[in-house]
Amino acid sequence: MEDLQRWCIRNRLYADQQALHLAKGKAAEDDAPPVPPSHLLMDGARGGAIHVPPALEGEFLRHLGADVAAGRSHFLHEIRTPVTRLYFDMDWAAPAGDAVLGAAPETRRGAVLERVRSVQRALARYYPAGAGAALDVLVCGVEGDPRTTDDGALKLGLHLIFPKLFVDREQALLLRAGAVTALRLHAERSEAGTDATAAYWEKAVDAGRYGDNRSGGLRMLGCWKLTRCKVCNNRPAARPHCVRCAGRGRLQSGRPYAVQAYLCSEGLESAEVTRHLATNAVAALSQAALRTARVAPTPGFRRYRGAPGVGAAAARPPSCGSALALVRRETPEFARIRDLVRRTSPFYASLGVLDVKRATRGAGKYMVRVAGDGSSYCQNVMRDHGSVTIYFEVSPAGVTQRCFCRCATTDGRLDGLCSAYRSNASTFDGATRDLLFPGARGRAPGLATRSAGLATPSLQRMIQQLADDPRAFPAAAAACAAPARGPARRRPRFS
């Protein structure tokens, strides 16, 4: 069998061949029109792209599989189709000596597969009628130990590909959000291993792989990776004169992805299928190819109530007229705020906290971005938003739910626009107030100002006494019931 490069040249699939073909005006009536790029050449050769029509994709995979089995190097990135196989691109990083990534190979493999099973269980919630074998997953990674980065950390790259589950872009992003939540919750339940914060897993599972441009897709199985040259740093001015990379700006780093495991929908590993795909490059490429001729996703998908949305990573809380300082995750303030947010409602019991920021002026209230189950459930609409998330505001008066929605409508809202909505405050005890707001002692700011419009002075006195000491309720109630002092009003006479 001829190698892939000769086959592509013979079929005029390289981008530079098609550009030359069109420039010379040789397109005959029986010639097929050029198709959009289906694959990118990451080394930039031959115009940087290949245009493989759907009728030739099977033959293309057979030639690529033969080259991979023969040890020939390729640098192919597959661009997804509008309906594609579901896939996740994970970069799992941890400090040196991590209990999972730094463990022995068999221990590490078992821990990785257990996390993949948690993803399968999470995705099953989106198919309430049952997904059957659609949740079979192909686990792909680099052979050997995790690589060590320049700062000494360990890094493990994984591709999770679902050969029998077809999705569109919107479904892929929602399922990715569910996978991120599952990985975070699994890490929280684990006593050792990777950081369990929501922000960590939001970055670990790459959301940029589902774009509508050329970035949407994955590096293909068996294909090599290119890294930026550390001498010229791929700068246009220095690249042409760089001896290290010969003017290319990138260097070959190898590390092709190969099949590591095949898990059935129930989470059990099929050793026979794993062995077959690990030793048959053509079969593995056929199972892992993202591109498909299907025009409809797998039926049965439904976003469950409280499912995480897709807008958490991009949203930013308002500055509230003050600069915001990041609260470090290892502080007791961060842990206390996370617990407070989760206790505000059963819908938020498993929320993950992306970050906490505190206003540097005024009362120093906190802004809390969240992710995971319940992160799109807004109390103003009493349902999940489609593409935006909520956030929380913590002040001395309590914890309130806010919303990133900027829709200029009050239809279906309980209390005006979502952008201006504040839920009822969920209060906390004095110890929490002393921890979060050391300067706000003895009273809950906001009660007196909220009651300023009330006309009865005795009622205002009662509210203030309750703010100072909740145990004073009997005395405050008696003071409210007592007649107000002052000159008696003369009852008007009518003749």
DSSP annotation string for 168-181: -HHHHHHHHHHHHH
Q: How far apart are CA 216 and CA 237, in angstroms?
A: 29
For the cut 70, the answer to whether the pLDDT of residue 310 exceeds it is yes
Answer whether 400's CB lies under 8 Å from 421's CB: no
Band (pLDDT 50/70/90 cuts) for residue 475 is low
Environment class of 200 (CB within 10 Å of its CB; exposed 0-12, middle 13-18, buried 19+):
buried
- The confidence score (pLDDT) of residue 368 equals 93
Q: Phi first, then psi: what are they for 307, rounded to 5°?
A: -65, 145
Residue 215: its pLDDT value, please? 78
Average pLDDT (45-56) is 88
Average pLDDT over residues 132-153: 87
Residue 34 has pLDDT above 70, yes or no: no
Whole-number pLDDT of residue 96: 74
Average pLDDT (310-318) is: 56
* pLDDT attached to residue 494: 46
User: What pLDDT is recorded for position 451?
Assistant: 38
What 3-state DSSP class applies to 218?
strand
Q: Which residue has the higher pLDDT, 458 or 298?
A: 298
**Average pLDDT over every residue of 9-36:** 64
Lowest mean pLDDT among 179-188, 255-264, 360-369: 360-369
150 to 102, 109, 147, 155, 164: CA distances (angstroms): 16, 24, 10, 11, 38
Highest mean pLDDT among 11-20, 454-463, 478-487: 11-20
Band the pLDDT of 440: cuts 50, 70, 90: low
Q: Mean pLDDT, to the nearest integer, of 268-287?
A: 95
Q: Residue 284 in 3-state DSSP?
A: helix
Contact 183, 117 (CB under 8 A): no
Query: Which H/E stretch holds residue 458?
Result: helix 457-468
Indicate the range of 39-53, 178-192, 219-233, 330-344 predicted with least confidence: 178-192
Considering only CA atoms, which of 85, 162, 83, 148 is closest in space to residue 116? 162
Share the mean pLDDT of the chain: 82
pLDDT at 306: 87
pLDDT confidence of residue 19: 61
Looking at residue 47, its pLDDT comes to 81
Most confident by average pLDDT, 46-50, 288-292, 314-318, 488-492: 288-292
Cα(394)–Cα(171) distance, rounded to whole angstroms? 33
Distance CA 445, CA 422 (A): 16
More confident residue, 99 or 204: 204
Q: What is the pLDDT of residues 341-396, one digit of tens each?
A: 999 998 899 888 888 999 887 667 899 998 888 999 999 999 998 878 899 999 99
What is the predicted pLDDT for the residue at 42?
83
Higher-confidence residue of 452 and 62: namely 62
